[in-house]
Amino acid sequence: MSAERGLLRAGALAALAAALLTIVWLAMLLVLPVLPDEATLEEQLYFVAEHQGAYIALYTGAFLLVLMQVPFLLALTVLAYRRAGGQAWIWGALALFYVILSLWAYWTQLTIVRGLTDIFVNSEDAVLRASALAVYLTWGYTGRLAAVPYAIDSLGYLLYSLALLGFGMILVRGPGVDLVSGGLLLLASASGLIGILGYLVQIAWIEDGIVLSGAFVMPAFFTLAYRYWREARTD
C-alpha cells in the first residue's frame, strides 16, 4: 500500500506539472517563430538553422511533457486497478508504449534533424547537401506519410487514445470526480482517434482532432491530480 500511495502522490504532482508544462508549451507556440505550413524542404531546413533556439525549446518542451506523463500514467493505472482489477494493466502498458514512441520521435528532432540541418546549411559538398535534404524528407516531423518520426508519434498517440478509452470506461462508472475524469478521458480518446484517422487519410481539419484531444486531457490533469491525492490520503 505504501508503494501505491507514493505512486499516487507522485502522479498528482506530475499531473500538475504536466498541466503547467502544457501551458508553457502553448505559450511558446504563440510567441516563438513556427515553421510555415507550405514551406519547401529547403526552406524548412533553413528555418531550423535560423531559429534553432526556438526549435530546441519547442521540442524539448514536448519531450519533457511526455516524460512527465510517466508518473501520471502509472498513478492512473493504479487508480484504475483499484476500480476494475487486472484490465488496468493493459491500458497502462499501452500508455507507456505511447511514452516510448513519442519520446523517440521528439528526440530525433533534437538530434538527427539538427545534424541534417548543419550538413545542409554549412557543407560545401553539393552531393552531401542533397543527401541531407533527401534524408530529411524521411526524418522531419511533418504530416507527410513518409515522415518516420511523425508516423511513429501518431502510432504512439493511437495507443494513448486507446489507453484513455480503457481508463475512461473504468472511471466513468464511478461518482463525482471519477465520473468527470472518466468523461474527459473518453472525449480525449474519441478526439484522438478521429485525429489519427485524419492523418491516415491526409485530411488536415480531421487531423486537428489530436489537438482537440489535448484540450480534454488538460482539465483531466487537474481532476485526476485531486483524485490521486485524495486516494493516497485514504490509504
Closest to 72 (Cα-Cα) out of 175, 181, 155, 152:
181
pLDDT digits (tens, 9 = 90+) for 40-95: 999 999 999 999 999 999 999 999 999 999 999 999 999 999 999 899 999 999 99
Q: Is residue 235 assigned to a domain?
A: no
* The predicted structure's pLDDT at residue 39: 87
* Whole-number pLDDT of residue 198: 95
pLDDT score, position 145: 85
Average pLDDT, stretch 178-205? 95
Between CA 54 and CA 112 the distance in angstroms is 17
Under the banding of pLDDT at 50, 70 and 90, the label for residue 232 is confident
Whether the pLDDT of residue 165 is over 80: the answer is yes
Sign (positive or negative) of CA dihedral 54, 55, 56, 60: positive
Q: Is residue 215 part of a domain?
A: yes
pTM for this predicted structure: 0.93
Q: Is residue 43 part of a domain?
A: yes
Cα separation, 35 vs 152, whole angstroms = 20
pLDDT band at 216 (very low <50, low <70, confident <90, very high): very high
Is residue 155 predicted with pLDDT exceeding 90? Answer: yes
| Cα–Cα nearest to 52, from 132, 4, 114, 124 | 114
115 and 127 Cβ atoms separated by less than 8 Å:
no
Query: Does the pLDDT of residue 36 top 80, yes or no?
Result: no
Residue ranges making up the domain that contains 151? 2-230
Share of the chain above pLDDT 90, in %: 84
- CA distances to 154, 175, 193, 196 from 76, rounded to whole Å, are 22, 16, 20, 23
pLDDT-derived band at 142 (thresholds 50, 70, 90) equals: confident
Predicted pLDDT at 29: 85
CA atoms of 22 and 18, how far apart (whole Å): 6
Mean pLDDT, the chain, rounded, equals: 93
Give the residue-averaged pLDDT of 174-191: 95
Task: Say if residue 235's pLDDT is above 90.
Answer: no
Number of domains composing the chain: 1
